[in-house]
């Protein structure tokens, strides 16, 4: 099976084996696969095999990552056979139709899909590069690092060339506008930019106005709070003055009430000594008694003054 005739598996029932000559597991199943292929006419099935070294594109199309790999195809519907590559198991897989219980490869995983076709192209390019590298190193005897440098330079040149091709294609496809239309479009762009700038300025002015209004409102609120605080302070001062005046009046009333009583008591005290003096018989006075009497009189006068 090669890349040129792989479409044959799209019709009828097929069993495919992907192998490599250097793979030990593939070599162990070669005899079993040959026996299975000889009995293909009896089983009414077609049998084929693919060398991944010679056909890297097909290995990419079927996305082969392990060897050996077996696939079953029935009218373009592909399934992966994951059993051992023994003749009896392969025969029972076909006779008992065990493939019906296996989930088919659908969508992008199908070998006939567009994605797998792209994968086949990538694998084929990588296979050609590998063959070319072997030709440089084995046939021509070029050092491996020289081969790597060659591929690096070739990749850069190819990338630049593809970029140039894309630019040329874009220039060919792109149709320039007439001059008057381009001028109009430029004017429209300028007018749109000016309109956007005006909108931005208006938005900034609105923000500034809103900020100023907020500042004014905050200042008014602060002044009102200060006035309220001043009124409260005045009320407190008036209350304190009223309390002080009331206290002074109370003190005056107390002093007025207590004044006559004190005067009366003082008068009684002054009278009592006189009565006692009248009652006491006259005795000869001395200088000491006179001094004591003078001191007593002074104290009484002082107390009377304080009471007034």
| pLDDT tens by residue, 241-280 | 666 656 556 555 555 544 443 444 443 444 344 443 444 4
How does residue 212 score in pLDDT terms, banded at 50, 70 and 90?
confident
Token pair listed for 301: 């006068």
**Which residues, including other chains, have CB under 8 Å from residue 2's CB and lie 6 or more apart?**
50, 54, 55, 58
Query: Which sequence positions are flagged as catalytic?
Result: 23, 26
DSSP string, 106-144: -GGGSTTSHHHHHHHHHHHHHHHHHHHHHIIIIIS---H
| pLDDT tens by residue, 33-65 | 999 999 888 888 999 999 998 888 888 899 898
pTM here is 0.50
Torsion angle defined by CA atoms of residues 74, 79, 84 and 89, in that order, rounded to the nearest 10 degrees: -30
Which of 151-155, 252-256, 276-280, 282-286 shows the lowest per-residue confidence on average (mean pLDDT)?
276-280
pLDDT above 80 (res 15): yes
Which neighbouring-strand residues pair with 81?
A: 70
- Confidence at residue 250, expressed as pLDDT on a 0 to 100 scale: 57
When the pLDDT of each residue in the chain is averaged and rounded to a whole number, the result is 77
pLDDT above 70 (res 286): no
Alpha helices, H only, the chain: 24-28, 30-38, 40-43, 56-61, 87-95, 114-134, 144-173, 179-279, 287-307
């Amino acid at each position: 099976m090669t890349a040129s005739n792989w479409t044959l598996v799209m019709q009828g029932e097929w069993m495919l084996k992907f192998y490599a000559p250097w793979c030990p597991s593939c070599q162990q199943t070669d005899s079993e696969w040959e026996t299975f292929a000889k009995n293909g006419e009896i089983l009414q099935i077609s049998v084929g095999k693919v060398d991944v070294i010679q056909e890297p594109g097909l290995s990419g199309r079927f996305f082969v990552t392990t060897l050996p790999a077996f696939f079953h195809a029935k009218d373009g519907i592909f399934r992966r056979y994951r059993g051992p590559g023994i003749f009896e198991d392969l025969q029972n897989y076909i006779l008992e139709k065990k493939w019906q219980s296996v989930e088919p490869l659908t969508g992008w995983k199908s070998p006939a899909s567009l994605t797998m076709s792209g994968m086949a192209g990538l694998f084929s390019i990588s296979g050609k590069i590998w063959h070319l590298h072997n030709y440089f190193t084995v046939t021509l005897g070029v050092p491996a690092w020289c081969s790597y440098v060659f591929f690096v330079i070739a990749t850069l040149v190819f990338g630049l060339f593809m970029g140039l091709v894309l630019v040329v294609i874009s220039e060919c496809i792109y149709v320039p506008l007439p001059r008057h239309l381009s001028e109009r479009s430029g004017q429209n762009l300028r007018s749109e930019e000016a309109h956007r700038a005006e909108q931005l300025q208006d938005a900034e002015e609105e923000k500034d106005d809103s900020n100023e209004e907020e500042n004014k409102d905050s200042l008014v609120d602060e002044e009102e709070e200060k006035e309220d605080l001043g009124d409260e302070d005045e009320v407190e001062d008036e209350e304190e003055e009223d309390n002080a005046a009331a206290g002074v009046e109370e003190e005056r009333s107390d002093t007025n009430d207590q004044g006559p009583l004190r005067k009366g008591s003082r008068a009684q005290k002054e009278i009592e000594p006189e009565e006692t003096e009248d009652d006491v018989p006259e005795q000869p006075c001395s200088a000491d008694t006179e001094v004591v009497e003078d001191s007593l009189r002074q104290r009484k006068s002082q107390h009377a003054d304080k009471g007034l």
